[in-house]
Structure 1
């Protein structure tokens, strides 16, 4: 397994469900956020360096494809990784798969590097750019 790909296991609980007895669409945002936290937990130096420089990663767009229903008791794996780094933004890919191999949902999340003091996006450059580039994966890595 690549160190650049985060894998989080979780079980669907009753409180994740909506009135139709499947995972509520908003819960998938939480599942994916758990994947991002795990990803950055594996790379703490990057976050520490950003905070010291007055920078932060901020979500600016999220596109989710809901492909199958997850229900109470399902065991899911949330995979998270960076698939693209541009001059001013990057893309984090998420894939949620049930233990039987069914792809439940996938998403591409666009982030920018925020200059906290100026409250505006800044260029992704220098050591941060190199660190992100070193962690970048092809989408095919999510199916391996």
Structure 2
């Protein structure tokens, strides 16, 4: 039984590949960031905001700040469940997305993280207000307890 930190998780499965292992014999820290980016983009597409929509709107979301707590190691061949939630949308230029990575075999949480994403114009890279499609598509999917 997997215990997710928040309800209504959006999740994907990843099997740790040999090339993800570092000299210490476990998953390299940068791989976790790749997993987080992978699920963020996949979730964005599920929300109806894929690359075509980004181009049409001349807007995209870019990572501004990421915080990661590495809690336990993962090893080659293990199946990991990566979960994400949008927990805040300031209705202007930014959203906050949370992540949790869990080892399927024993339910141990390996990582907790969060990223603040900022809306920018594709043609200039400068921060811009979110269009209505982003305000709707990037609605919070879970509420953090206070």
TM-score by length of 2: 0.83
Q: 2:142 aligns to what?
A: 137
Q: Which runs of 5+ in 2 are unaligned?
A: 1-6
What is the aligned-residue RMSD (CA, Å)?
1.8
Q: 2:4 aligns to what?
A: none
Q: In structure 2, the residue corresponding to 1:122 is in which secondary structure?
A: coil
- State the Cα distance separating 1:139 from its structure 2 match: 4.3
Q: Which runs of 5+ in 1 are unaligned?
A: none
Q: Does 1:101 align with 2:107?
A: yes
Pick the aligned partner of 1:88 from 93, 98, 104.
93
Pick the aligned partner of 2:81 from 61, 77, 81.
77
- State the Cα distance separating 1:57 from its structure 2 match: 0.9
Per-residue CA distance 1:57-109 (angstroms, 9 max, x = gap):
11111111100011112110001221110122111111100011100011101
Q: Which structure has the highest helix share of the two?
A: 1
Q: 1:11 aligns to what?
A: 15
Q: 1:43 aligns to what?
A: 47
* Equivalences, count: 136
For the Cα contact (< 8 Å) 1:84–1:91, is it kept in 2?
yes
Distance 2:74 2:116 in 1: 25
Q: In structure 1, the residue corresponding to 2:127 is in which secondary structure?
A: strand
> Residues 50, 130 of structure 1: CA spacing in aligned structure 2 closer, same or farther, 3 A cutoff?
same
TM-score by length of 1: 0.84
Per-residue CA distance 1:43-69 (angstroms, 9 max, x = gap):
23x333332121111111111110001
